[in-house]
Amino acid sequence: MHHSATDQVSLELARRIAERLRRQPEVLDFARANLARWSQQNKSVPSLLRCYAEWQQILSRPVEEICTLLCSESDNAQRLRQNSPFAGVLSPTEVWEIKARLRHAPADELKLAKKRKKQYLQNL
């Protein structure tokens, strides 16, 4: 899959997670548990530990601020989504549905999805 398509999938997954987080703030506990487990598993990898620490700090913010970051198209948000602690929040079926839809979407559909996302973010 092309890099921008991968980023689009990542962004769409993050949007879905943000929707769930708004309805179920306890999703933050799941993300914190992931970070704790990953920190133990990767305690000899300083670069990952820095990333996990950054996410720990982010998860202490208000839910809406976290959701805004998840849905952002900024380079920083894109970088953060590469190691999202929300892995496992969405069911495998949800993840595969998003991946299949975006991987097989014609370029015009991807452009339309980006346009809808921009409108969505402007209406927050």
pLDDT per position as a tens digit, 15-26: 999 999 999 999
Please state which of the ranges 3-7, 69-73, 111-115 shows the lowest mean pLDDT: 111-115
Number of domains the chain contains: 1
1 confidence band (pLDDT: 50, 70, 90): very low
Q: What would the pLDDT profile of 53-106 be if each residue is shown by its tens digit?
A: 999 999 999 999 999 999 999 999 999 999 999 999 999 999 898 888 877 755
DSSP state of 88: T
Q: Give the model's pLDDT for residue 8.
A: 87
Which residues constitute the domain of residue 117? 3-122
Q: Give the model's pLDDT for residue 7.
A: 84
CB distance 28 to 20 below 8 Å: no
In Å, what is the CA distance from 72 to each residue of 8, 63, 80? Answer: 11, 14, 10
Number of residues in the chain: 124
Q: What would the pLDDT profile of 27-43 be if each residue is shown by its tens digit?
A: 999 999 999 999 999 99
Q: Give the model's pLDDT for residue 5.
A: 75
